[in-house]
């Protein structure tokens, strides 16, 4: 069951809506639906954190509930795209 509160940070409404559709209509997991929505978004800025997260396939800052809690400790498991 999708809830907009599952997605954190600055995410375009089109990606949120596409994620909802992926989960509710196609039965995808939050991770799979979000990844597909980001991939299909036509205006994603290549310098944005969301693009970098998609490129590294690491959406922990945007959909933390899709990950095991131990990997949400960014000190132990830093984001590869973090400057």
For residue 30, tell me if it sits in a domain. yes
Contact 6/28 with Cβ under 8 angstroms? no
Count: domains in the chain: 1
Q: What is the pTM of this model?
A: 0.90
3-state SS class at 75: coil
Residue 28 belongs to some domain of the structure: yes
In a domain, 47, yes or no: yes
Residue 4 inside a domain? The answer is: no
Domain of residue 64 covers 10-72
The pLDDT tens digits of the residues spanning 28-55 come to 999 999 999 999 998 889 999 999 999 9
pLDDT at residue 1, rounded to an integer: 86
- Neighbouring C-beta atoms of residue 53, cutoff 10 Å: 23
Is 82 inside a domain boundary? no
Q: Are 39 and 54 in contact (CB under 8 A)?
A: yes
Residue 81 lies in a domain: no
Q: Would you state the pLDDT for residue 83?
A: 64
Within a domain: 66: yes
Q: Is residue 43 one of the residues assigned to a domain?
A: yes
């Amino acid at each position: 069951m999708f809830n907009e509160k599952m997605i954190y940070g600055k995410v375009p409404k089109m990606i949120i809506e596409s994620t909802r559709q992926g989960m509710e209509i196609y039965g995808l997991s939050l991770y799979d639906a979000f990844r597909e929505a980001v991939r299909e978004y036509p205006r994603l800025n290549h310098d944005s954190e969301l693009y970098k997260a998609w490129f590294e396939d690491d959406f922990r800052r945007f959909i933390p509930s899709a990950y095991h809690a131990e990997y949400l400790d960014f000190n132990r498991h830093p984001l590869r795209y973090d400057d």
